[in-house]
Each structure stands twice: as C-alpha cells, then as structure tokens.
Amino acid sequence: MPEMVTLTIDGHEVSVPKGTTILEAAKSIGTEVPHYCYHPGMSSPAMCRLCLVEVEGAPKPMPGCVTTVMDGQVVHTQSEQALKNRRGVLEFYLVNHPLDCPICDMSGECNLQDYVHAEGREHGRGREPKRIFGRDDFGGDVLFYGDRCVMCTRCVRFMSEVEQDHRLTVVERGNRSVIDTFYEEGLDGTYWHGNIVDICPVGALVSKEFLHKARAWDLTHTPSVCTGCAQGCNIDLHTRDNLVQRVKPRENLDVNAWWICDYGRHGYEWMNRGDRLEAPVMRSAGASQAMAWGDALRALLAKADGAGPVKAIASAKSSNEDLGALKRLVDALGGGDIVYRSARADDEVPLKGFPTLARRTDLTPNATGADLVGASRVGDDDATGGLDAVSGHDGIVIVLNDDLSDQGEDFGANASLFVYMGTHASAGATHADFVLPISTHAEGEGSFTNLERRVQRFAKAMDAPGMARPAWLVLGALAAETGGGDAPRSAADAFAALGRSVSAFAGITWEDVGTRGALLNESVSVTGD
C-alpha cells in the first residue's frame, strides 16, 4: 500500500498517495483546477501560471500542477486570491487572442473559452493592436494558428518526450514566441502527430481532415475500440447525421493511455460507405429474391439439412460474439473447419515514450478472439489467400465478414450451400445461395480481444442500414434452431453464450468487461505478433 497523505482542499479533507500533486488531489473531490501546460502523460513545466492556488503558510501562490501534497496542508482553489490570480492570467491570454470563436474548430470544447466564461473579466481593457502570426501548415494532418496559441508547449513536449521525434520547438522570445518546425521539416512521416491536436487546449492546432466539418456540440460521442490493429486502442466515435465525423482517443492507462496512432485515427471512412447490403437475398436458378429475415433463415435451414460437412471463413474484424455464434452454428451443423485471414504490416510502429503502445503488425482487431474460438489463420504466405480448400468445397460454405476481395467469381461454385454474410457486395459471393446483410461494429454492441488477451467492449454509435443485423443475432438464431437452446437477444446474451462454449471466456462476464476491459485468465507478454 502506498503511503497516504491527508490534507484539506476547499474545506474537504482528502487522503491521497504521497507524491500526488495538488491539481490531481483536487480531482479526487471533483474540483477541476484550471490549467493549460499540465498533462498527466508529460512533464510539467508550470509555465502557464493558470493553476496557481492559495496554500496556507506559503509565501506566494503555488502552481498546483507541480506542488506535491503534504500532511496537514490547507489549500484554497476558490479563494479570492486564487480567483484574482486566474482572472489576471486569463486577461493576459486574451491580449493577443483573435477571439475568432465563431469560425474556430475548437469552439464548444475550448478550455480558454470555458475558463474565461466561468472566471474571466466581463470586459476587456486592451487598446493596443493584437499581434498577428497567421496560419502555418505543419504538414501531416495539422494546421497551426499562431494567433490562438497560449504557448502551453504541450505539442512540443509530446513530440520530444512521447513520440521522441524532435520536430517542434519554440522560436523567438517573449511576446514574439511561436511554435514552429525545425528546418521546414514538418510533421510528414510521423505516425502519432495527430495527438497534438487532441491535447491542444485551444484552437491553435487543428486537424485538416476535420476543418470546418462539424461543430463540437453537434457531435455524439460513443465509446468504442479502434479496429486498425491488434492493440485495441480505446476511442470515441464522434458521429453526426449517422456518419462518423472523427475519431478521438479515450483514456485507458492499461491499453493506450491518452494516445492513438494516425493510422487508426484516419481509418474510419469505410464505416461511412453507402453501398451497403440492406436486405437478405436468396439466389436460386440464376434469380435473386429479397426476403424477410424469417423467410430467409427458414429457407437456409431447409437447404442446410443434409448438405454435407461445413467449412467456414471468419474475419478477424468480427467481434467475439460473432465468432462464438459462428462456432456454435458450425458445431450444430455437424462440425467443420473455421479459418480466418489477418492483414499484416511489414513493421511495428511503437510510441517510444509509451513502450507498451504501438501500431501492431497484425492490422485486425480480433485475431486473438479468432484463435480462442478455434479458428486457424491462413493466407499469410499464400498468394491465393489460403482459401483454396474452402473455395472448392462441395459441402456447406459459410463466409463471415470477409469481403473475398481477392477471390474470383467462381469462389464457392461447387458448394451445396454457400452463405455469405457481409456488409458490402462482393464478386466472390457471385455463387452465394444466401447473401445476408450484417452490421458493422459501429452499428451495434460487442467486444474484441486484443493482443494481450484483454476483452474490450464497444457500443452502438450509428444505425445500421435497411435490414442489416448483428452477425451474432443471425448466427445465434440459426444455431438455436439447429442445435436447440435459446437465441441471444443482446450482446450480453451472446457473450454469455460464448463463455459457455469457449473455456477461455468462461471466467468473465459482460459486466466484468465494463468500459475498461478485462484480461482473460491466461496472461501473455505483449509482443508484435
């Protein structure tokens, strides 16, 4: 147990571990001490002077971000002296600020805007012309508006301490200080620079991709998990008009802290594609017929009776619940092989200042889950994708969420029953007897298992198009009709059914996973594979 220190903050007695700063101690009682330069993932230069608090017995106001707590200490964050300090500092920040909130991307989520509204002066006293730095393209996805900068240096410290790529610095001195890149090098070629937009407390650093795209108050924030690689970074999907507008990191110190890579940050446009499968289709004698779900599933089950052994293709982009339901259906149909393919990158891209975080070589979010349900990886060193044995199979072929983009129109031509479950049409599904539309992870609930076997939940951020349904719901209904038992009615039901059929998942519940994830019983080291 850590040594505890007891102090009083704004009349409340607080006990926190020794070494905790006043700013962090105040958070434990729900008090937010205004600050700019401080960020828990980086060093604290105590240069913004906004977090000054009154400490009884101290000869002067103390910066809350670097002053550690002491036994018996009495701190005032809302005293007249503390408020006067903040009003003065905020007035200095506004001396040269352009006050262009109506056109600024940060309006609605800007700390300067919030602090001035809460504690700033009602009227400004400036009479001198404001300094003008204009806009600078930093390269990559970042634009810099120097007029809005409060010189907190969070961006400089992130690049030097966390990414450990020293491309940003402060040039000039005094009131001419400005952030700039070294030797016009820019941020091109770095893999984590999007995080400096996230941590900028004002509108000085903005994303080119999101520029003037939406207002902050129009966006709905939904907790999710990045599907860009096996790391399983925690993210928020920001949506409007049933479209993903941007992706932001969600704090989870066990997985990705406060950061995500640019590969995952900008890899969301596939969720917004409009050419989606929207209704179940049965093909017979060269003709296609759209059907209601009940009719389609009854026809499928009738054709599956006596159709032969099963070979299934899963996708490592499918959720644990989808994969578990597929396994139960395959077992109910007499058993068979399940294979999956996993996209691979040539190299791992680590975040040097946070060594357990990297863009992994496995570019799928749930290869671990696929392994745990008994699926076999194929295609890593096979030019044909490793699907030859499935393509020519003459029994039942089930494809789950693999778009078969590298397969020809003759795929599955020999199958007695070919079921294709996907989000988009595919030439590889030309011979499918049933084409069933399923929802994406952004359109429903479920979970993924990352490379360290941490199960993490995602939530529904968008409505699925047409009649598309979660794969676990469709497969679970088919498995229930074939092998008995109850069909799952929710993702929690599907996860519980997974625990009953796959021993690795038996030790945790849907509630255990929660919003932070839960490790499976077997522990492994974190590596790139």
Helix (H, G, I), strand (E, B) or coil at 155: helix
pLDDT of residue 273: 93
pLDDT of residue 381: 60
Q: Are residues 216 and 307 in the same domain?
A: no
Single out the residue of 440, 17, 523 nearest to residue 225, CA to CA: 440
Could you tell me if residue 120 is inside a domain?
Answer: no
The rounded Cα 277 to chain-centroid distance in angstroms is 25
Q: How far apart are CA 478 and CA 297, in angstroms?
A: 7
Q: CA-CA-CA-CA torsion for 35, 39, 45, 49, nearest 10 degrees?
A: 0
Which residue(s) pair with 430 in the sheet?
none
Single out the residue of 352, 37, 35, 33 nearest to residue 179, CA to CA: 37
pLDDT of residue 382: 58
AA letter at 233: C
Helix or strand (DSSP H, E) at 245: strand 243-249
The rounded Cα 377 to chain-centroid distance in angstroms is 25
Residue 463 DSSP one-character state? P
Could you tell me if residue 296 is inside a domain?
Answer: yes
Q: How far apart are CA 471 and CA 247, in angstroms?
A: 24
pLDDT of residue 311: 95
**What are 16's two structure tokens?**
């926190």
Q: How far apart are CA 111 and CA 88, in angstroms?
A: 16
Q: Report residue 330: phi and psi, to 5°.
A: -60, -45
Q: How far apart are CA 96 and CA 77, in angstroms?
A: 27
Q: How far apart are CA 428 and CA 402, in angstroms?
A: 10
Q: Are residues 180 and 225 in the same domain?
A: yes
Cβ–Cβ under 8 Å, residues 113 and 138: no
Q: Are residues 372 and 446 in the same domain?
A: yes
CATH of the domain at 71: 3.10.20.740
Could you tell me if residue 292 is inside a domain?
Answer: yes
Q: Domain tally for the chain?
A: 3
Could you tell me if residue 108 is inside a domain?
Answer: no
Last residue in a domain, options 272, 292, 312: 272
Last residue in a domain, options 272, 304, 323: 272
Domain that holds residue 382: 281-519
AA letter at 12: H
Residue appearing with tokens 């969420």: 401
CATH of the domain at 185: 3.30.70.20
Positions of the chain with pLDDT under 70: 380-384, 484, 522-529
Q: Are residues 443 and 410 in the same domain?
A: yes
Q: How many CB atoms lie within 10 A of CB 174?
A: 5
Kindly give the interhelix angle for 320-332 and 471-483, rounded to the nearest 10 degrees: 20
Q: How far apart are CA 281 and CA 293, in angstroms?
A: 9
Q: How far apart are CA 101 and CA 110, in angstroms?
A: 9
Could you tell me if residue 110 is inside a domain?
Answer: no
Half-sphere exposure of 262 (CA within 13 A, CB side): 18
Could you tell me if residue 35 is inside a domain?
Answer: yes
Q: Are residues 320 and 201 in the same domain?
A: no
Q: Give the DSSP letter string of 96-152.
A: S----GGG-TTTTS-HHHHHHHHHS-SS----SPPP---EEEEETTEEEEGGG----
pLDDT of residue 10: 93
Q: Give the DSSP letter string of 155-206.
A: HHHIIIIIS----EEEES-GGG-EEEEGGG--STT-SSTTHHHHH-SSSSEE
pTM for this entry: 0.91
pLDDT of residue 524: 43
Last residue in a domain, options 254, 272, 290: 272
CATH of the domain at 365: 3.40.50.740
Terminal Cα-to-Cα distance of the chain (whole angstroms): 35
The rounded Cα 146 to chain-centroid distance in angstroms is 29
Could you tell me if residue 20 is inside a domain?
Answer: yes
> What is the tens place of the pLDDT at every residue in 127-152?
888 888 889 999 999 999 999 999 99
